[in-house]
């Protein structure tokens, strides 16, 4: 590495930044400054007007008593995340101009974990859900929320910039609890999900609403905190229904276990002894003449996938079989030495 040139570059960069900053403060360049920063600034300011600071229950046992929300209609309905903060009779919504509104819970969607609050106050500052858009991975975004409850009174919500880092299915939990919402989310590369940020707005650089910031969640796969927003396209229909006065029941999203689950013995497979918490599902023996035998499964094969489910251990395999019907065929992806083979077990 050429440190000298790096240092030099850094110095240049610093000088240039200083130059830019200095020029911003010079009166005769003020107009140019406005041109340069106007767009992002306008987007931020105009969209921030739609964001409210919400105060409700909490404040003990590590739960926060505040979160964020935003107006989604001219008659003062607010979209936010459904959380314990809303477990009070009167929720207080503080608008960006310091207005203090009493808000009532209009309704919730327990599947999306969203809530609509009614303030009864007409407003010009709202996001039109029908104007929302779906960003691509890599799109630059701004997150608007009252994270850490740092804004009070007529202070604007905080703006963070980032990009849509990935789009993925949510498979996360808070503490030991699985997230109820299991749909698509946008993962953001900025720290957007902190206490108080839930219910905030995610907009693109044209000010178009793209998502609602979700509650704090831990990514179970990567084992890190997840910064994400739920796409408005997933929320819109439900939000409209709640505003229209419909109540939305908890859908049973649980995967039903099979009445006649598949079993290793019925398939003719004996695995190596399951002694570790994550024993690899190696086949110890295949019973001659069994379903597994005729499908071509062999001793020492390592089972990697069952249908499309990744099998990280024997325990995962045993659990997965409970959801499969023994009358239906099962596609296995196995490793034999260095080879990857697909094997279909047909009863």
Please pick, from the candidates 65, 88, 92, 163, the single residue that binds another protein as defined by CB under 8 A.
Answer: 163
C-beta closer to another protein: residue 238 or 314? 314
User: Among residues 171, 250, 167, 157, which one has the least CA distance to residue 211?
Assistant: 167
CA dihedral sign, ordered 121, 123, 125, 128 = positive
62 near another protein, judged by CB under 8 A: yes
Give the three-class secondary structure for 326. coil
Taking the complex as a whole, the smallest distance from the CB of residue 247 to another protein amounts, in Å, to: 33
Contacts of 313 (CB under 8 A, 6+ apart): 276, 277, 278, 279, 280, 281
C-beta closer to another protein: residue 92 or 316? 316
205 near another protein, judged by CB under 8 A: yes
27 near another protein, judged by CB under 8 A: no
The packing angle between helices 3-25 and 30-48, to 10°, is 90
308 near another protein, judged by CB under 8 A: no
Taking the complex as a whole, the smallest distance from the CB of residue 188 to another protein amounts, in Å, to: 9
The pair of structure tokens assigned to 137 is 């991975």
Is residue 72 a contact partner of residue 51, using CB atoms and an 8 Å limit?
no
C-beta closer to another protein: residue 138 or 254? 138
CA dist., res. 276 & res. 314, Å (int): 9
Q: Applying CB under 8 A, which part among 95-103, 232-240, 251-259, 279-287 lies near another protein? A: 279-287
CA dist., res. 204 & res. 210, Å (int): 7
Q: Applying CB under 8 A, which part among 110-118, 132-140, 240-248, 256-264 lies near another protein? A: 132-140
Contacts of 143 (CB under 8 A, 6+ apart): 159, 160, 161, 162, 188, 190, 192, 197, 200, 201, 202, 213, 229
User: Among residues 268, 254, 257, which one has the least CA distance to residue 319?
Assistant: 257
C-beta closer to another protein: residue 32 or 294? 32
Is residue 157 a contact partner of residue 48, using CB atoms and an 8 Å limit?
yes
The pair of structure tokens assigned to 297 is 């499964």
Please pick, from the candidates 96, 132, 146, 160, the single residue that binds another protein as defined by CB under 8 A.
Answer: 160
Which string of x and - marks every residue 232-271 that binds another protein (by CB under 8 A)? ----------------------------------------
Which string of x and - marks every residue 175-204 that binds another protein (by CB under 8 A)? x-----------x-xxx--xx---------
Interacting residue ranges for another protein, rule: CB under 8 A: 1-3, 5-6, 8-10, 12-13, 16-17, 20-21, 32, 35-40, 62, 137-140, 147-148, 160-161, 163, 165-168, 175, 187, 189-191, 194-195, 205-206, 218-225, 276-282, 302, 304, 310-313, 333, 335, 338-340
């Amino acid at each position: 590495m050429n440190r000298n040139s790096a240092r030099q570059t850094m110095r240049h960069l610093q000088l240039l930044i200083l130059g830019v900053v200095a020029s911003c403060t010079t009166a005769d360049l003020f107009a140019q400054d406005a041109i340069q920063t106007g767009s992002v600034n306008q987007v931020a300011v105009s969209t921030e007007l739609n964001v409210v600071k919400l105060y409700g229950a909490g404040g003990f046992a590590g739960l926060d008593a505040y979160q964020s929300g935003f107006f989604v209609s001219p008659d003062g309905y607010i979209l936010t995340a459904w959380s314990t903060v809303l477990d009070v009779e009167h929720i207080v919504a503080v608008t960006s101009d310091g207005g203090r509104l009493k808000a009532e819970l209009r309704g919730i969607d327990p599947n999306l974990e969203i809530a609509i609050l009614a303030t009864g106050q007409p407003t010009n500052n709202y996001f039109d859900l029908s104007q929302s858009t779906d960003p691509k991975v890599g799109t630059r975004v701004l997150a608007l929320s009252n994270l850490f409850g740092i804004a009070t009174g007529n202070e604007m919500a905080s703006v963070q910039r980032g990009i849509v880092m990935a789009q993925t299915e949510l498979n996360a939990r808070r503490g030991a609890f699985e997230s109820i919402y299991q749909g698509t989310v946008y993962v953001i590369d900025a720290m957007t999900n902190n206490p108080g940020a839930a219910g905030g707005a995610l907009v693109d650089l044209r000010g178009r609403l793209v998502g609602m910031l979700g509650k704090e969640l831990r990514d179970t796969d990567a084992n890190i905190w997840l910064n994400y927003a739920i796409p408005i396209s997933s929320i819109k229909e439900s939000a409209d229904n709640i505003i229209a006065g419909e109540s939305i029941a908890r859908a049973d999203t649980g995967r039903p276990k099979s009445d006649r689950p598949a079993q290793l013995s019925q398939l003719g497979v004996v695995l190596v002894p399951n002694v570790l918490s994550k024993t690899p599902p190696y086949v110890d023996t295949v019973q001659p003449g069994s379903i597994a035998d005729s499908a071509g499964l062999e001793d020492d094969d390592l089972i990697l996938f069952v249908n499309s489910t990744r099998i990280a251990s024997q325990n995962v395999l045993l659990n997965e079989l409970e959801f499969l019907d023994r009358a239906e065929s099962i596609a296995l992806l196995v490793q034999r030495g260095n080879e990857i083979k697909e094997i279909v077990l047909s009863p």
